A and B are shown apart, each in its own frame.
Chain A
Amino acid sequence: MKLLQQTRTKFVEQEEKLIVEGPTPRPGLIDLRNWDYRIIDTYNPLYTSQSDTCDYCTFGKCDLTCNKRGACGIDLETHSAREGMMTCIMGAACHTAHARHLLNYFINRYGNDHPIDVGPTSLNAPVTEVIMGFQPETMGDFRPVLDYVEEQLTNLISSAHTGQEGSARDFESKTLHAGMLDHLGMEVAEITQISCLGFPKSDENAPLAEIGMGILDQDKPIVICVGHNVVASGYILDHMDWNGLFDKIEIAGLCCTAHELTRYNKNTKIIGSMSKQLKYIRSGIPDVLVVDEQCVRADILREAKELFIPVIATNDKCTHGLPDRSNDSIDEIIDDLVSGKQAGALILDFEKVGELVPRLAMKIGPIRKAKGITAIPTDEDFKKLVSKCTNCLKCTRDCPQSLPIADAMEAATNGDISKFEHLHEKCVGCGICDNCPAGIPVLNVIEKASQRIIKLEKGRVRIGKGQISDDEIIKEAMNLELGITPGVIALVGCSNYPDGTKGIYDVAEEMLERGYIVLTSGCSAMDIGLHKNADGKTLYERYTGKFSRGNLLNAGSCVSNAHIGATTIKIASILAGIQTKGNYEEIADFVLNAVGAVGIAWGAFSQKAFAIATGCNRLGIPVVTGPQGAKYRRALIGKPYKKEEGGIMSTNDDSIVNSEPAPEHLMITAETKDDLLPLIAKLCIRPGDTSTARAVKLTHYIELSEKYLKKMPDDWHIYVRNETDIPIAKKEQLLKLLDEKRRTINIDKDKEKIIGNSLLKFGTPVHLTNIPPLCEEV
C-alpha cells in the first residue's frame, strides 16, 4: 500500500513538471472533430459491411439491410461506422497494453528517470509531442501519455454502447481518434524498448538477420518465440549469452517478436510472419514454443500438444488456459513438461522463463528428435491422402485465398507436385482447409509436397533501425523537394496477401528501382527478405537502410510503425518549421498537402493494421490495402468529380486557389499489384509539389500505368498545373493530349506551351493548407 502511494506521488510530480503547449494538447473526443470532418467531407466513408445485421444488444438481432434502422434506432451506416471504430479500438488497445506492459516493467527495473534515447534527434518522441504537447525526456514522462490513451480508449469504447453515439460521422471522427491513439501507444512501446534494450538507433547499417523456414540447424534443440513482446524472450537470450549456449541451441522468432529478438541479439534468427506459424509448428521442428502476446494462434496449445512441443506462455493477456507455474521450481516444471504430464505452463516470472526455456529445450530436444515427431505425412501416406480427394472443393471455399487445392491433389496423384509448391507460396497457413470431408489434413499435405522449396527458403532481413534521424531527413530534403525521390512508400502490416510473398517483394523492387524510399516493418519487412534476384541477393543486400533516394529501410516490428508518422512529423517540423507541440491539426494538414508518403498494407488482416492505417489517415497519410482490406468494412474515398470546385488556401497570401485531388483517396484497396503500383505513384502527388517534383511523380504514374495496365492513365492531365509539371520525355505528346482533355488549360499550339490555366494560378504556391494558422510562426 505504501509503495503504491509512493508511486502515485511520483506520478503527480512527473505530470506537474511537464508543461504542455499548443492549440490542442491531449485532445479529447471532440477536440479534433473539425479536422476529422474535413477529412470525411473530402474522403467520404464507404461501408462494405460484412454483415447486414446487428447483434450488439438483446433488442436484436436486428436486420439493417438497405440501411434500415434497428430496434435501438441505429442504421447500417452508423452501425458499420461503429464496427470500424471498435476494430480500431481493439488495435489501439493491443499496442497500448503492450506499451503499458513494457513501460511498467522497465520503470520497475530502471526507474522513472531512465532517459529516452532513440539516437540523434531534436524530437525524442514526435507523435507524443504533437498529441500531448510536451517532449518526454524520461521513461516516467511516458506515464501520463499512457494514462491519457487509456482514458480516451475507455471513453471511445463507451460510445459504442447501445444508446450512445448515433451519428456515423461522429463515429468516424472517433475512429480517427482511436487511430491516432494507436500511434501514441506504439510510440511509447517502441521508444521504451529502444531506450531500455539497446536496440539499433537510426542505424542505416544495422546488420542482416537470417530469415526463412529452412535456416535452422535441426540437429540442435530449437526454441521458437512467438508474438510481439520481447521481455520474456530477452531473458532467454541473456541466459543463453551468459552460459554460452548459442552454439548448442537454435533460437528464432515468429512474427514481430522475431524482429525484436534480432534487434536485441544478433545471434537470433527469423522464421517468418504469422502465416508461417502453423506451418512451422506442424513441421515438428520446434522443441519449445514460447508465446508472449498478439498474433499467437488461438489453437497453438492444441497444435503443439499433438506434437509434444511444450508451450510456455509468458503474458497475462495470452494464457491459453495453462496453469500458472510462476512460483514453482524450474526442475518441477521441466519434469512435468518432459514427462508429458502437462502440455505447457504459464510463467510470469521472466527470470525463471530465461533459465527454464534453454534447459527445457536441451532436455526435450533430443527426446523429440529421437522420436522424429512431425505432422508431415510420409511419402506413402502422402500418396494415399491425395488419392482420397473427391474434388468437392470444400477446402477452396473455406480458404481465405480460394486456392485451387483439388487441382493440386489431382496433379499429385499423377506424380506432379509443382502445383502444391505453387500453393505453398500463396498459402497463408491458416489450416481451415483441414475441415476436409474426406479427412485429408490438407495443410500437412501441402507442406509435405513443398519440402524441397521449404528447405531452400533462406533469406535476409536488415534488422530494424528504429527512428529516422534528423540528419537523414535534412540531407534528403532537396531530393524530396525536387522529386529526385518521388515519394516515401511504407510497406507495412500482415501477410494475408492476395498473391503470396512475391507480390510485396515485386512492389518493393519496382518502387526502389524508381528511386522511391521504401520504409517497411512487421511481417511485410520479413516477407520482402524472402526473395532474391538472379545474383542471389535479397533487396536488403542490394539497398542500404538509409533514408535516402531508392533505399530500403526496415523500421522494425509492428510498434515500429510509429516511426512512419513520426518521420512525416519530423519533415513538417524540420523542413517546414511547423510547431509540433500540441499542434496536431497543422501538422496533419501539412502532411496531407505536402508530404508525398503512402502506406501500403498489402496483406493486412489484423485489427492493429486497421488502427495503424487509420492513425496514418488522421495524420494525412493515405493508405492502400490489398483486396482483403475491403473486409475492414470502411474505406475513405475521394470524389475527384466533386473536387473541381474545391479550394485550398495559399499560405503565401491567404488566397483560395483551386487544387487537384491530391491525394485522391485516404483509404482504399487495390485488387492486384498491377493496379496497386500506379495507384501508389498517384497517391504520392500532393498539392504542395514543386513543378519538378510533380513532373517526376507524373512520369512514374504514367509509366507504371502503361507498364502494368497497358494504358495511359485517364486522369494524368488533372495533375498538370503548368508547363513545367509536364514530364519532359513525353512533352510533345502530352501537350497534344492535354489540349484535347483539359479545357481549363490554354495551350499555344505553335509554341507548344501552356499559356494559361483558368482553374489554377500559373505557378501555384508551394505551401498550401486546409486550415487557418493555429500557432504563431516559429
Chain B
Amino acid sequence: MTKKEDVKTTRHTGKTIDTTRHATPFDTGNIPGPKTARAVMPAVSGKILARAQRPLLIVGSQIHDKEILERVVTIGRRGIQIAAAGNAYKSLTDQKELDVHQVNMHALAAYLCDPSWHGLDKKGNYDLVAFFGITYYYASQIIATLKNFSKIKVISIDKYYHPNANISFGNLKNDIFTAALDEVIAQLPKVKKNF
C-alpha cells in the first residue's frame, strides 16, 4: 500500500510519481515463478540502498543518455560503488572521482554468488545490489541467479518491472523514471559515505 506522504510529483510536469503501478514483467513472457518482486515507491528503494553495509550499483548499456547518465554519476558521487557492465564504462571514463569498475555482468553474478569473493575493490562481497540501465532481458536472466543462489538483496531501480529482484518499480514512462531516480538519490547521504 502506498502511503500518502510517499507520493511525490515530477518537478516540471507535476505528474504523480507512483512507481508501484504497472508492476507486471516488461517482457510479457518473463514470468519466473511464485516469488516476484514487491513493487515499491522510490523512497523505499532509496532508504534500503542508503542503509546497506556494502551496496553495489550495476549499470549497463542503456545509461548513455544524458538524463540517465547524470543520475548514475550522482549516485556514484554519494559513495556507491559502480559496476559498469556491457559498454557502460565508455560514458563513465571521465568520472575520475567515482569508484567505477568495468565488469562482465555474467561473471559478476558468478562472483557475487561466491561468499569468498573479495569484491571489486578487494574489501569483501556485497550485501545489496541495485541496478538499472541494463538490457532488460539480460538483466532479468542474470539477476535470477542472485535471487536463487545468493543471499544478496537485489533492488531494481530500473524503468521496468523486474520480477526477479526483491523489490522493483513498475514499468515507468521516461519522466516518471528520472523523477523516481531523483527520489532514490534524495535518500542517499549527501556527504560521501564510506561503504
Contact = CB atoms under 8 A, between A and B. Distances in A.
Interface of A: 44, 46-53, 63-67, 76-77, 394, 397-398, 400, 402, 498, 627-628, 630-631, 635, 637-639, 641-642, 665, 668-672, 674-675, 679, 708-711, 713-714
B41 to A, nearest CB: 22
B34 A708 contact: no
B90 A708 contact: yes
25 contacts: A46-B106, A46-B145, A52-B35, A52-B148, A53-B34, A65-B147, A402-B137, A498-B135, A627-B135, A627-B137, A627-B138, A630-B106, A630-B138, A639-B114, A669-B104, A669-B105, A671-B61, A671-B135, A671-B138, A674-B61, A674-B87, A675-B86, A709-B89, A710-B89, A711-B102
B152 to A, nearest CB: 12
**Chain B interface size, under 10 / 10 to 19 / 20 to 34 / 35 or more:** 35 or more
Q: List the 10 closest pairs (A to B, CB-CB), nearest first.
A: A52-B33, A671-B86, A674-B87, A630-B141, A627-B138, A637-B110, A710-B93, A710-B90, A48-B141, A672-B87
Given A48-B141, A635-B106, 18 more contacts: A44-B110, A46-B113, A47-B145, A50-B32, A50-B144, A76-B148, A77-B149, A394-B28, A627-B137, A639-B114, A669-B106, A671-B60, A671-B105, A671-B134, A671-B138, A674-B61, A710-B90, A714-B102
Contacts of B34: 52-53, 63, 65
B141 to A, nearest CB: 4
B107 interface: yes
A627 to B, nearest CB: 4
B101 interface: yes
Given A63-B34, A498-B135, A628-B137, A49 B104 contact: no
Given A630-B141, A631-B137, A65 B106 contact: no
Nearest to A637: B110
A631 B116 CA distance: 27
Nearest to B113: A46
Interface in B127-163: 134-138, 141-142, 144-145, 147-149
Nearest to B91: A710
Given A52-B35, A63-B33, A672-B86, A397 B144 contact: no
B87 A671 contact: yes
Contacts of B147: 52, 65-66
B149 A637 contact: no
Interface string B75-105: 0000000000111011001000000011011
Interface of B: 26-29, 31-35, 60-61, 85-87, 89-90, 93, 101-102, 104-107, 109-111, 113-114, 116-118, 134-138, 141-142, 144-145, 147-149
Nearest to A402: B136
B148 A65 contact: yes
A635 B101 CA distance: 22
A630 B145 CA distance: 11
B110 A679 contact: no
B110 A50 contact: no
Contacts of B148: 47, 49, 52, 64-67, 76
Contacts of B144: 48-50, 52
B149 A47 contact: yes
A641 B120 CA distance: 10
A709 B102 contact: yes
A53 B33 contact: yes
Nearest to B107: A637
A76 B150 CA distance: 13
A709 B138 contact: no
Given A77-B149, A672-B86, A49 B32 contact: yes
A137 B147 CA distance: 53
B107 A668 contact: yes
Given A52-B148, A67-B148, A675 B111 contact: no
A713 B33 CA distance: 38
A638 B137 CA distance: 23
A672 B110 contact: no
Contacts of A47: 145, 148-149
A510 to B, nearest CB: 14
Nearest to A633: B141
Contacts of A641: 111, 117-118
A652 B194 CA distance: 50
A637 B106 CA distance: 8
A675 B33 contact: no
Given A402-B136, A710-B90, A672 B32 contact: no
A17 to B, nearest CB: 48
Contacts of A627: 135, 137-138
Contacts of B106: 46, 48, 630, 635, 637, 668-669
Contacts of B85: 671, 675
Nearest to A678: B102
B124 to A, nearest CB: 12
B27 A397 contact: yes
Contacts of A665: 107
A714 B116 CA distance: 20
Contact of A714 (B32, B90, B101, B105): B101
Contacts of A708: 87, 90
A679 B104 contact: yes
Given A44-B110, A66-B147, A709-B90, A52 B141 contact: no
B138 A669 contact: yes
A596 B105 CA distance: 24
Nearest to A674: B87
Contacts of A77: 149
A373 B86 CA distance: 44
A547 to B, nearest CB: 30
A777 to B, nearest CB: 38
B137 to A, nearest CB: 7
Nearest to B163: A52
A238 to B, nearest CB: 44
Contacts of A642: 116
Contacts of B35: 52, 63, 65-66
Contacts of B117: 639, 641
B133 to A, nearest CB: 11
